[in-house]
Amino acid sequence: MMDILYTGPVPAERESPMVRSETSPSRARRGPTQRPNACCFCWCCCCSCSCLTVRNEDGGQARRKSLETKLEPIPNYEPCAKPTVDEMQLWAHSFDKMMKNPAGRNVFREFLRTEYSEENMLFWMACEDLKKEINKSAIEDKARMIYENYISILSPKEVSLDSRVREVINKKMQEPTPFTFEDAQLQIYTLMHRDSYPRFLNCAIYKSLLQEASRPPSES
């Protein structure tokens, strides 16, 4: 029998406020836009729904439809081996090491969902995916999709970037490359590190997962 792939803890049900909050400059806490179903975060990789569902709130559904058919969406959660206790303890000492670990990204991403800032991780992952692309046509399509999903002020998943970075992106979008969003990706990475990561280390999701993994087999 195949081993069950680890995608993270099952999230607790959360009450979603009806109004999106924009009070935090870092946008770390906000009211929800439409989110993936909670069933996507489970102990297997069988979920087929997409975390990059294209919204039609800005009336751009028809314009984006052609891009949807060309691009494979980023998986809802990354299939990976279940992390060891040592690996999870290492996450508390190094944000960089956690972000390089698929299981670490999954758990941190679930925490970001509770703060309604999951788009930060999705944007970072989309940029990583773009960097691996070598086909010019695919680069242009993926860059446009990233721009419309995370940079456009019309997008409900817009990430928080300063005006300088936005200006750089607008210029680079005239001829996109795999590194068009490099400055923006670094800014969002830094935001997650400084703003969300300290709270993640004290959240119930991380603590309960670490506690469960630390139990002797007889107590599990």
Q: For the beta carbon of residue 11, count every other beta carbon within 10 angstroms.
A: 16
pTM of the entire predicted model: 0.68
pLDDT at 8: 55
Average pLDDT of the residues of the chain:
76
Q: Is the pLDDT of residue 138 over 90?
A: yes
pLDDT at 81: 85
Of the candidates 162, 204, 196, 149, the one whose C-alpha atom is nearest the C-alpha of residue 33 is 149
Query: Predicted confidence band at 219 (pLDDT cuts at 50, 70, 90)?
Result: low
> Residue ranges of the domains in the chain?
85-214
Averaged pLDDT for residues 150-172: 96
Query: Predicted confidence band at 215 (pLDDT cuts at 50, 70, 90)?
Result: confident
Of the candidates 175, 169, 168, 125, the one whose C-alpha atom is nearest the C-alpha of residue 147 is 169
CATH hierarchy code of domain 85-214: 1.10.167.10
Rounded percentage of the chain residues whose pLDDT exceeds 70: 64
Which position has the higher pLDDT, 154 or 69? Answer: 154
Averaged pLDDT for residues 39-47: 36
User: Which tens digit of pLDDT belongs to each residue from 76-131?
Assistant: 788 888 889 999 999 999 999 999 999 999 999 999 999 999 999 999 999 999 99
User: Which tens digit of pLDDT belongs to each residue from 170-212?
Assistant: 999 999 999 999 999 999 999 999 999 999 999 999 999 999 8
Would you call 211 exposed, middle or buried from its count of C-beta atoms within 10 A (0-12, 13-18, 19+)? Answer: exposed
